[in-house]
Amino acid sequence: GQSLEQPSEVTAVEGAIVQINCTYQTSGFYGLSWYQQHDGGAPTFLSYNALDGLEETGRFSSFLSRSDSYGYLLLQELQMKDSASYFCAVRDNNAGNMLTFGGGTRLMVKP
């Protein structure tokens, strides 16, 4: 089966940098995605890594190491609006595009 592990909660202060780790076990692997979800809202796409290395999008970066089955999301210059849940998700089936999500990491940004 598939499983993804990520910390349940992380707290950081405004302006700081925070890293949210994700380790996965899947029968197949076609990429690691990150989604952000504010309370009561819909998940929104942040980033995707299919190959090893770092992908940067503004204040957010995502890293993947396929040999270690590990990735992380790096959030820089934290803002209060970054308080949300962050989910890593793997695409592990080439027959479709189904995503298997981790349990989510709740990030609380304090002033």
Partner 1 sequence: DSGVTQTPKHLITATGQRVTLRCSPRSGDLSVYWYQQSLDQGLQFLIQYYNGEERAKGNILERFSAQQFPDLHSELNLSSLELGDSALYFCASSPTWGSGGKNEQFFGPGTRLTVL
25 contributes a contact to partner 1 by CB under 8 A = no
Convert residues 72-91 into a mask of x (bound to partner 1 by CB under 8 A) and - (unbound): ---------------x---x
Convert residues 27-46 into a mask of x (bound to partner 1 by CB under 8 A) and - (unbound): ---xx-x-------xxxxx-
Nearest to 3 by CA among 20, 23, 21, 29: 23
Contact window for partner 1 (CB under 8 A) among 10-18, 25-33, 60-68, 76-84: 25-33
Phi, psi of 24 (to 5 degrees): -135, 155
Cβ atoms of 38 and 77 within 8 Å: the answer is no
Q: How far is C-alpha 12 from the geometric centre of its chain's CA atoms?
A: 16
71 contributes a contact to partner 1 by CB under 8 A = no
48 contributes a contact to partner 1 by CB under 8 A = yes
Phi, psi of 81 (to 5 degrees): -70, -10
Tell me 84's DSSP state: E
Binding site for partner 1 (CB under 8 A): 30-31, 33, 41-45, 48, 50, 87, 91, 93-104
